């Protein structure tokens, strides 16, 4: 009986971690608040809520970029081991990212750009003045005037955390690309899409 209760508690804990550990402020965000001067943490969430972050940060005059995302790669050499071992390896490693707190761990990796590119990235990001924009929590999701066919229920979400030693500001946007096309004019929505494109440019698929 004691074992059953213990197993039930573990299951509940695992479900809660999987659902909650990749939303909002995490130990990784707090690490950057403590150790960096200024940081952008950009997160896109789709249907499966897979943790996936891209990070631009500055300490003094040193600019750096990082990613936090799943890192299981199907190596061709895996074909040489028994299928049951290969399947177990991929299954267990594929789920691991949901079961550990988002922090400076194996899923957190530095990425590398030339110093000039990093400076350009930082300057272009700063020019968007993300600290000053309004997000969907202020302006509301969707279009200002509701029209038939405007609403979408399966759009992606974008979170941006702006971090300094004094504060962590969270910006949230729901399906910004879709609604920017349907009802253009929101400065905040346009700014987050510009920042997203900028991150795509400098991270180049990372």
Q: What is the pLDDT of residue 73?
A: 60
Predicted confidence band of residue 206 (pLDDT cuts 50, 70, 90): low
Q: How many residues does the chain have?
A: 206
Q: Check pLDDT > 60 for residue 96.
A: yes
Name the DSSP class of 76. G
Q: What is the pLDDT of residue 93?
A: 77
Give CA–CA dist 59/102, Å, rounded: 21
Q: In degrees to the nearest 10, what's the CA dihedral of 155, 170, 163, 111? A: -10
- Of 100, 98, 72, the C-alpha closest to 86 is 72
Q: What is the pLDDT of residue 13?
A: 40
Q: What is the pLDDT of residue 80?
A: 83
pLDDT digits (tens, 9 = 90+) for 48-83: 788 999 999 999 999 999 999 987 665 666 778 898
Q: Where are the domains of the chain?
A: 2-203
Q: What is the pLDDT of residue 18?
A: 43
Q: Check pLDDT > 60 for residue 19.
A: no
pLDDT digits (tens, 9 = 90+) for 27-48: 999 999 999 999 999 999 886 7
- Of 94, 99, 102, the C-alpha closest to 24 is 102
pLDDT digits (tens, 9 = 90+) for 149-204: 567 767 789 999 999 999 999 999 999 999 999 999 999 999 999 999 999 999 98
Predicted confidence band of residue 136 (pLDDT cuts 50, 70, 90): very high
pTM of the model: 0.82
Tell me what percent of the residues of the chain surpass a pLDDT of 70.
81
Q: Check pLDDT > 50 for residue 15.
A: no
- Higher pLDDT: 2 or 133? It is 133
Q: What is the pLDDT of residue 205?
A: 65
Both tokens assigned to 11: 């299951």
25 contacts 161 by C-beta, under 8 angstroms: yes
What are residue 156's phi and psi, to 5 degrees? -80, 165
């Amino acid at each position: 009986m004691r074992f059953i209760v213990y197993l039930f508690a573990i299951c509940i804990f695992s479900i809660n971690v999987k659902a909650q550990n990749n939303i909002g402020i995490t130990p990784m965000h707090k690490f950057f608040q403590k150790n960096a001067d200024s940081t952008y943490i950009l997160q896109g969430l789709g249907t499966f809520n897979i943790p996936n972050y891209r990070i631009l940060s500055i300490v003094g005059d040193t600019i750096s970029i990082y990613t936090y995302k799943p890192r299981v790669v199907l190596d061709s050499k895996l074909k040489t081991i028994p299928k049951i071992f290969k399947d177990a390896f991929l299954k267990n490693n594929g789920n691991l990212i949901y079961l550990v707190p988002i922090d400076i761990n194996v899923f957190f990796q530095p990425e590398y750009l030339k110093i000039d590119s990093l400076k350009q990235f930082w300057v272009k990001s700063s020019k968007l003045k993300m600290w000053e924009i309004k997000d969907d929590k202020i302006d509301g999701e969707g279009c200002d005037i509701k029209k038939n066919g405007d609403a979408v229920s399966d759009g992606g979400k974008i979170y941006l955390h702006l971090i300094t030693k004094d504060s962590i500001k969270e910006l949230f946007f729901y399906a910004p690309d879709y609604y920017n096309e349907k009802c253009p004019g929101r400065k905040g929505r346009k700014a987050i899409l510009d920042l997203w494109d900028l991150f795509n440019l400098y991270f180049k698929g990372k």
